[in-house]
Amino acid sequence: MLPELFFAYFAVTITGLSILVITRKNPVHSVLWMLVLFIHIAALYVFLNAEFLAAVQIIVYAGAILVLFLFVIMLLNLRKEEIEQKFQKQWPLGMLAGTLFILFFVIILNKFAVFPAPGEYSIQAIQGEGNIMVIGKVLYTEYLLPFEIASLVLLVAIIGAVVLAKKKISE
């Protein structure tokens, strides 16, 4: 009963906060609501026995990605009239895309999703050894290649940022 209650609270709040994020006129307000949203998602991760992911959600998303969002908003510095002109006529198309996505998601979930039997990492096993310890052990042995590829993705992000913004700097 209690887990369902908590999950219901977070599901409803996350939906409400998402709507708040996309309906605010001021983009800075949107970003601030997104901060609350990210913290709620982190709490959801805690309930799914993914404590490390919850911490990463706070550190990376609430700490770093939101700062990036804020900088982009300040870089663009759109005035109110421009925002209304550019972005507020697209909502029917956005609604359509969103509805199609949900439909697609539900169909996939019903028809094709396979829920595998619980593996060796049950909640008790993870609790016994410690969440981060288990992640460290699995990530750096079994998932070595994806981990090293992640560094290449990050490298691309660095180079991409410099290439995109370099012209302005050399002026």
Partner 1 sequence: MPGTYIPLNYLPVLIILIVATLVGLLPLLLGIILRPKRYYPLKLTPYESGNPPVGEPQSKFSVRFYIIAMLFVVFDVEAVFLYPWAVAYDRIGLYGFIEMIIFIFILLIGYIYVWEKKALEWE
Point out which residues bind partner 1 (CB under 8 A). 2-4, 6-7, 39, 46-49, 51-52, 56, 59-60, 63-65, 67-68, 71-72, 74-75, 77, 79, 115, 118, 123, 130, 132-133, 135-137, 139-141, 144, 147-148, 150-152, 154-155, 157-159, 161-162, 164-166, 168-169
Nearer to partner 1, 4 or 89 (CB): 4
Nearer to partner 1, 71 or 91 (CB): 71
Distance of CA 51 to CAs 95, 102, 126, 155, Å? 34, 28, 10, 27
How far is 58 from 42, CA to CA, in rounded Å? 7
Rounded to a whole number of angstroms, the minimum distance from the CB of residue 29 to partner 1 is 13
Nearer to partner 1, 86 or 166 (CB): 166
Distance of CA 153 to CAs 20, 96, 143, 158, 159, Å? 32, 32, 16, 9, 10
Nearer to partner 1, 96 or 162 (CB): 162
How far is 119 from 50, CA to CA, in rounded Å? 15
CA-based angle 64:54:24, to the nearest 5?
55
Rounded to a whole number of angstroms, the minimum distance from the CB of residue 110 to partner 1 is 17
Which amino acid makes up residue 26? N
Rounded to a whole number of angstroms, the minimum distance from the CB of residue 77 to partner 1 is 5
Rounded to a whole number of angstroms, the minimum distance from the CB of residue 28 to partner 1 is 9
Which amino acid makes up residue 20? L
Residue carrying structure tokens 């940022």: 161
Q: Encoding tokens for residue 133?
A: 């310890």
Nearer to partner 1, 4 or 120 (CB): 4
Rounded to a whole number of angstroms, the minimum distance from the CB of residue 137 to partner 1 is 5
